[in-house]
């Protein structure tokens, strides 16, 4: 008794399952949306508020002055040899930008002093980082 087996011919599939591709892309997008704000400088400062503020400081050298007047260059303490540290970080940076973040309790004199040290290090331009004003409950638009 001979069996009559037919051999199935599976051809190559030329379609892409777009639903799975869209799912993966959306998950990756959500991960980047959540992690992008966390990639900013890790030093916690209470920035002064202005009506106009840059979106995100992402590239360049970030100089931070915290509420205890400790100076950081890219999240590393740099009080002792500040000019040398900022000069090295500026030379290593791909984008030639320097941003100064200062806590709102830091005096104007300290901010100007640090800006002067940045200029003395040979860096021509310094950007100041601020934040948008917080919306209070009375301005929420609901009554």
* CATH class of the domain whose range is 42-128: alpha beta
Q: What pLDDT shows up at residue 3? A: 64
Using alpha carbons, list the distances in angstroms from residue 95 to 67, 89, 92, 98, 107.
28, 11, 9, 9, 29
pLDDT at 142 over 60: no
Which is higher by pLDDT, 11 or 136?
11
- Please choose, from the candidates 67, 24, 58, 47, the residue with its C-alpha nearest in 3D space to the C-alpha of residue 131: 47
Mean pLDDT of 117-141: 73
Question: Are the C-beta atoms of residues 56 and 23 closer than 8 Å to each other?
Answer: no
pLDDT at 136 over 60: no
0.85 cut: is pTM over it? Answer: no
pLDDT at 70 over 80: yes
**Helix, strand or coil, per DSSP, at residue 1:** coil
Looking at the chain, the whole-number percentage of residues with pLDDT higher than 90 is 13
63 strand-pairing partners: 73, 100
Q: What pLDDT shows up at residue 141? A: 44
Q: What pLDDT shows up at residue 31? A: 92
Which is higher by pLDDT, 132 or 123?
123
pLDDT category, 138, cuts 50, 70, 90? very low
The secondary structure element, H or E, covering residue 73 is: strand 71-73
- Please choose, from the candidates 44, 107, 46, 78, the residue with its C-alpha nearest in 3D space to the C-alpha of residue 98: 78
């Amino acid at each position: 008794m001979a069996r009559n087996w037919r051999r199935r011919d599976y051809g190559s599939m030329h379609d892409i399952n777009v639903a799975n591709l869209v799912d993966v892309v959306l998950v990756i997008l959500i991960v980047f949306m959540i992690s992008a704000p966390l990639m900013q400088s890790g030093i916690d400062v209470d920035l002064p508020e202005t009506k106009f503020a840059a979106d995100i400081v992402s590239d360049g050298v970030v100089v931070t002055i915290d509420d205890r007047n400790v100076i950081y260059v890219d999240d590393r303490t740099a009080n002792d040899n500040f000019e040398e540290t900022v000069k090295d970080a500026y030379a290593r940076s791909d984008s030639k930008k320097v941003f100064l973040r200062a806590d709102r309790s830091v005096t104007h004199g300290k901010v100007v002093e640090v800006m002067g040290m940045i200029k003395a290090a040979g860096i021509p331009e310094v950007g100041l980082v601020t934040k948008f004003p917080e919306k209070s409950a009375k301005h929420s638009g609901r009554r």
